Amino acid sequence: MPQAPVLPHGSPTTFAGLSETFSFHASPESFISSRVLAFQKSDPALARSRTPIHAKILNRNVAVISSYDHVRQILCDEAVASNLSSGKAYDELMAPFFPPPNLLLLDAPEHQQQKFNWQERMKTLESIVCATVSKIVLDHLCEIQSGSSIDLYESMKSLSWKILLSIFLSDGKGERSEASTRETVEALQEDLLRGQFSLFPISVNTRFWRSPRSKGLEARRRLESLLASEVNQGACPFATNTGRERQDVASHLLLFTSSLAVKALASLLTALLLNLYVFRGKAPESALSDRIRAMDDRALRSKYLKSLVLETERLSPPVVGIMRRTTQEIVLDSSENCSQEQSPAPTMIPKDWDGWIYFVGAARDPATFGGTAEAFVPDRYVNSESSRERQQEGFAFGAGAKGCLGRDLIRSVAATVVETCLGLDSERSLSQGPAQPPRVKLVGNLSQIPSGVQAWLGWQQDVAPEQWAKDIKQLPTQRPRKPILVQVLH
């Protein structure tokens, strides 16, 4: 007999809401895991099934969702997705800093047409990305004295600024905006991000002090003016014919060149290069970089690189999750992968609740990924058709109709960074068997990587949530809290 839907588990009080807000901002992983573990004593199956959890964040009722199947329903099931709004969920957090026109905050049906228009625009970048990124990567890493050590995340953040501003603040033919313009954009975007994620959500501007939110809103106004000027002068890769198109492009450049986008790319590149050069796995004497370069089969090498990127995305998504607000009551069915005795009742999320979709937990769901759900398996996607657990990707770029517009672009950037470092970035080296000598090599000490960082990467399992929180900063994007030093050789 079908079970009646139930509310998400947990009964947070208004008083507890403030504490939960700060706990969530400190570490979503620790926050969510601690609440799951709290149910384990009374009902172990509840924790295994990753049932939605009721929390109070910023004084709103929130359903925290970390089951892979539930996340798929929310993002890909039209019957569910049609009763959810991203615009309303982000009204306070993003709308003041990224005003319309804004694809990210649009809901159906307007979203579909706008996304199609932008997908056509993004195609113009395909011919310039690889060559542009490859040159930037080489210049960036070769500026570092060979043999010196760097903070990998900070170096990747600097590289990500160069990449994104070079792609989006250029005319598409290699002519970039002035260096001073790019420096101004970077500084203003940093102010905007600090204002956006400030826990003091009030704009205060006095003679002696300005709140981070006030500074962020002022930065947004200055950026809007600067980016509109760049578009009017043709200093962007997207053709515009009307004033409305120019406004649309300038508004989206505010998103594409944001500090949030830069830090997300830096997070992905940091995890990817640590996996490439420091991870050892079953062959402790051999890094993945050496194994990939030893492959004579170009097709296999390409599959392995793609699998490496997908597995890094699955375990270490830069953005830990997204929000949706229910416009009508929705019901999430229990997982298809749970046995009948383990299957919990369907979950009902009332109207006007927020659904906080936790990508990190969903992409490590044993019901979908089996016994290796928490483990880094670099060849997981090499033969993706062989079994269900190998076919499913993570949610680094969302999924469904609202999936990230920049997914293919960022995957291309990530692959180009790896290929450039390994000396695989020319068709000549790819087509003639063994690769040419690597242009850059990174050397790291596995024993000096904190356990929380290793858990983030999937190298180490069964790490306590408190240790994860100690070693990994998760908002606004995931990154190690302390510098991870690697030596650069070229």
pLDDT digits (tens, 9 = 90+) for 255-281: 999 999 999 999 999 999 999 999 988
Higher-confidence position of 149 and 340: 149
The per-residue pLDDT of the chain, averaged, comes to 85
Q: With contact defined as beta carbons under 8 Å apart, do 480 and 154 qualify?
A: no
Six token digits for residue 225: 């003016």
- Digit-coded pLDDT (tens) for 139-168: 999 999 999 999 999 999 999 999 999 999
Are 480 and 263 spatial neighbours (Cβ–Cβ below 8 Å)? Answer: no
Encoded tokens for 19: 């504490």
Please list, in sequence order, all residues whose beta carbon lies within 8 angstroms of the beta carbon of residue 45, skipping any fewer than 6 positions away: 341, 342, 344
When mean pLDDT is compared over 4-8, 180-184, 455-459, the highest value belongs to 455-459
pLDDT (tens digit per residue) in 289-332: 999 988 989 899 999 999 999 999 999 999 999 999 999 999 99
| Of the candidates 327, 324, 332, 325, the residue with the CA atom closest to the CA atom of residue 8 | 332
What's the rounded Cα separation, in Å, for the pair 402 and 248?
A: 18
Q: What is the dihedral of CA 103, 105, 108, 114, to 10 degrees?
A: -10
Residue 186 CA, chain-centre distance (Å), reads: 20
- Residues 218 and 103: their CA atoms lie apart, in Å, by 22
The pLDDT of residue 9 is above 70: no
Dist CA 302 CA 299 (whole Å): 5
- What pLDDT score was predicted for residue 204? 59
**Tokens coding 472:** 């990994």
Strand order in the sheet with 354-358: 53-57, 60-65, 354-358, 321-326, 84-85
* Sequence-separated (6 or more) residues with CB below 8 Å from residue 301: 292, 295, 424, 430
With both helix axes pointing from N to C terminus, report the angle between 152-168 and 126-142 in degrees, rounded to the nearest 10: 140
Tell me, what's the pLDDT at 41? 54
Give pLDDT, residue 355: 93
- Cβ–Cβ under 8 Å, residues 482 and 442: no
